[in-house]
């Protein structure tokens, strides 16, 4: 059920480049790997947004409390040249290629994530699995 796309970045990649890859490939997140393709982190849209806004914003629940956008723009500009390791989720949440779909679904619900890297027994990237993949599997009776 997984998508065998192993698009990934290394931890020294800039945030700007990672956002560019996510935007052009319509990805909501991307695995961060070592030189031998072991997954050591994961960057999601939420990680990038969280890094670009002041911490207390998440408590406000509404953008109507934001006085102006200048603070966000300044932080986004500062963020773009930083290495992705500074904002990635580490250690990452991953699933083994042999994990049951029920287990993967459980992890996605518990951790509220849309996409998970799939790895082999050495932790090396094999692909990704998305919520849509799980829903489709359920509809086809695989779950």
Partner 1 sequence: MKVITVTLNPALDREFIIEEFTVNAYHRIKGQNHMMMNPGGKGINVSMALAKLGVSSIAIGIIGGYTGRVLLTELNKVSPLISTSFVHIEEETRENIVIVDPVNHTMTSINSPGPRVDRKAVELLLKRYEIYLSRAEAVVLSGSLPQGLTGEIYGKMAKKAKEKGRMVFFDMIDEYLTEALEICVPDVVKPDVRGSLTILGERLESLEDYVEAAANLVKRGCKLAVVSYEIKNDVVATQDGVWLISTEEKVDPENILGAGDAYVAAMVYKRLTEKNVSMLEVARFGYAAALAKTRKLAKEMPEYEEISEALKSCRLERLR
Where along the sequence are the contacts to partner 1 (CB under 8 A)? 3-10, 13, 17, 21, 24-25, 33, 35-37, 124, 126-127
Query: Between 53 and 85, whose beta carbon lies closer to partner 1?
Result: 85
DSSP result, 117-143: EEE-TTSBEEEEEEHHHHHHHHHTT--
Query: Between 10 and 89, whose beta carbon lies closer to partner 1?
Result: 10
Query: Between 33 and 51, whose beta carbon lies closer to partner 1?
Result: 33
Query: Between 13 and 47, whose beta carbon lies closer to partner 1?
Result: 13
Closest separation between CB of residue 32 and partner 1, Å? 11
Token pair of 121 as six digits: 């027994």
Closest separation between CB of residue 30 and partner 1, Å? 11
Closest separation between CB of residue 22 and partner 1, Å? 10
Pairing between β-strand 29-33 and β-strand 39-44 as defined by DSSP bridges:
antiparallel
Q: Could you tell me the sign of the dihedral formed by the alpha carbons of 22, 72, 14, 85, in that order?
A: negative
Among the listed residues 49, 54, 89, the one whose alpha carbon sits nearest the alpha carbon of residue 68: 54
Closest separation between CB of residue 24 and partner 1, Å? 4
Token pair of 73 as six digits: 């723009």
């Amino acid at each position: 059920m997984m998508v065998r796309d192993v698009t990934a970045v290394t931890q020294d990649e800039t945030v700007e480049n990672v956002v560019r890859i996510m935007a052009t490939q319509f990805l909501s997140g991307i695995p961060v790997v070592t030189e031998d393709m072991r997954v050591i982190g994961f960057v999601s849209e939420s990680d990038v947004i969280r890094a670009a806004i002041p911490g207390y914003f998440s408590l406000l629940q509404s953008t109507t409390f934001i006085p102006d956008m200048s603070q966000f723009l300044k932080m986004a500009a500062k963020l773009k040249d930083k290495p992705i390791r500074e904002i990635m989720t580490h250690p990452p949440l991953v699933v083994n290629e042999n994990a049951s779909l029920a287990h993967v679904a459980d992890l996605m619900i518990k951790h509220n994530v849309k996409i998970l890297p799939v790895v082999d027994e050495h932790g090396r990237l094999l692909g990704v699995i998305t919520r849509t993949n799980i829903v489709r599997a359920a509809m086809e009776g695989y779950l």
